[in-house]
Amino acid sequence: MAWLQGGPFLEISFLIKEVDIKLFTSKLATLPCITIIEENITEKERLFELGYLFDEEDPNSNRIHSVRFNLFVELAGKRKSELLVNRIATETLLIVFCFFWK
């Protein structure tokens, strides 16, 4: 079952210069307005760093580094949210917050 269902959604995205997903999630976890709802953040961080092949049949294909976290965000009330993190360059992460907006 998906964490977010229905809508309407507000999506906020931005780029950050960051190499280490662990550093990013630890900084995020210190914010009082965000609560990460995951059983094993360390495993998700590990899978992000490992990545997966763009073409599973070609071992020389590019690796995709992407992860999704469920969270609560305090923004005009407590809201269920999803955080998507994608590595789009060696030192650049694309951060996308999606949450219900009423």
pLDDT tens-digit map of 14-32? 999 988 899 999 999 999 9
| Triad 88, 63, 85: Cα angle to 5° | 40
- Those residues whose C-beta lies under 8 Å from the C-beta of residue 58, and which sit 6 or more positions away, are none
pLDDT for the residue 18: 83
pLDDT tens-digit map of 53-72? 887 888 888 888 999 999 98
Q: 1 or 36: whose pLDDT is higher?
A: 36
pLDDT for the residue 1: 39
pLDDT for the residue 5: 67
Helices and strands (H and E) in the chain: how many: 2, 7
Average of per-residue pLDDT across 23-44: 91
Check residue 69 and give left, alpha or beta (phi > 0: left; psi -120 to 50: alpha): beta
**pTM given for the model:** 0.83
Asked if the model's pLDDT at residue 85 lies above 90, the reply is yes
pLDDT for the residue 75: 79
| E strands in 1-102 | 9-17, 34-36, 52-53, 63-64, 66-74, 78-89, 92-100
